[in-house]
Structure 1
Amino acid sequence: MTKLKHSSASATATRIAAGDDRTQYDAVSILLHWITVILVLAQFGLAHTWGFAPKPTRHLMIVGHMSFGIVLSAVLIVRIAWRLVPGRQSPAAGAGWVELAAKGVHYLLYALLIGEAVLGFALRWSGDESMSFFGLEIPAPFAPTSKATHHAIGEAHDLVGWAIIVIAAGHAAAALFHHYVLRDDVLKRMLPGKAGDA
């Protein structure tokens, strides 16, 4: 009986971490999800490796980071707009606390991603530098801030970036636990070409 309760608690905890509210996902939602994953990993990788690169390469990596950040911002806008279109998301199978908590994981990741995008623009512009979109300069729409403010924005940008990676890693680990240990359809609902079962 204790083992059964522990197993049920594990399943509940991983459902929440996986953001599983038993929603069925359409092909566009799946595509946008995986584009987001790739861009987030690319952004994190670039930001934490350009310090080891020689100056010409480092500059290209920073420009790439800014450019992919703008692409990621656009993808987030499309994702949110797509989710708001009626009929694009099936209602959750239940309205209990597990479904609400799982949905909360999704909303938290959205909020962090949006916050990170805003901080990225603010960081560049607060230092009196243009954003670059694959070489196209986007000048600051406001005057540069003090060095202390610029530094604080940079710290916040870094902190939120780490929070996204940690939560996303837990989210992914929970989905893999469901797939390989619990052997249910949580992960399948977000894989291309797999019909999910609610």
Structure 2
Amino acid sequence: MTDQTSFDTATRIAAGDDGTNYDNVAVALHWATAFLVFANFALAETWDWFAKPAKELMEGTHMSFGVLLTAVILARLVWRWIPGHQVPSLEAGWVKLASKGTHYLLYGLLAAEAVLGFTFRWGAGRPMEFFGLGIPPLIGEIARPLRGELRELHEWIGWAIVIIAVLHALAALYHHYVLRDRVLQRMLPTRRL
């Protein structure tokens, strides 16, 4: 176990954490990630059901949520890397390895999803929408066939993220209801003194 500095202790206290649960900031970022992932997936899977004005609004919202999700993921990583915000695992052995592997896989897929989303949008020479504002392209235009392949890969990765996230949630419920441990409870919002 590493020694905590007074800064580490102060940031944990400010975040409302006693060292055994995830702090309120980590919990909020986790649930924001979950909401944005499922909202974006639902938007992408249903916008073809609607007429052009509604579809365009849904696509714009999808992009805005994608930009927001990218920011949330970056904030989660930064928050996690700040000394004093690491929480020891409750699992051991292969369960611990599976848990860590799942988390790393989700982070990797979310990063790939964000890069692909920005790349095929900017590769079309169009700004990325963010709640009515345009984020100008940081790359040049790319060929239409390659953009189509990137878009298709973006869709497949979206499905993979949702499937893994659902399995992740089912595993948390298994921990809570069958194993009766604190894995799920540590990621639920709590009132702290």
Q: TM-score, normalised by structure 2?
A: 0.84
Q: Say if 2:90 and 2:183, in contact at 8 Å, map to a contact too.
A: no
**2:80 counterpart residue number:** 83
Asked if 1:176 corresponds to 2:165, the answer is: no
**Offset at residue 95 of structure 1 (A):** 6.5
Give me the whole-angstrom Cα distance separating, in 2, the residues matched to 1:93 and 1:167. Answer: 21
The 2-side partners of 1:155 and 1:190 are apart by 33
The whole-number CA distance in structure 2 between the counterparts of 1:194 and 1:115 is 35
- Cα distance per residue 1:41-96 (max 9 Å; x no partner): 11001001110111111111111011111111110110000000011012335764
Instruction: Please give the alpha-carbon distance, in whole angstroms, between the structure 2 residues aligned to 1:169 and 1:95.
Output: 22
Aligned-partner Cα distance in 1 for 2:189–2:123? 40
Residue from 143, 148, 151 that aligns with 1:146: 143
Give me the whole-angstrom Cα distance separating, in 2, the residues matched to 1:184 and 1:194.
Answer: 20
C-alpha distance in 2, partners of 1:84/1:171?
22
Q: Deviations over 1:158-177 (max 9, x none)?
A: 01100100100100011112
Structure 2 residue corresponding to 1:186, chosen from 171, 183, 187: 183
TM-fit CA distance, 1:128: 2.1
Q: Secondary structure at the match of 1:132?
A: strand
Counterpart of 1:42 in structure 2 is 39
**Number of equivalent positions:** 173
**1:98 Cα deviation after fit:** 3.0
**Structure 1 gap ranges (5+):** 1-22
Letter in 2 for 1:98: V
TM, length-normalised to structure 1: 0.82
Structure 2 portions without partners, runs of 5+: 1-19
Map 1:10-49 to 2 at 5 A. 24-49=21-46
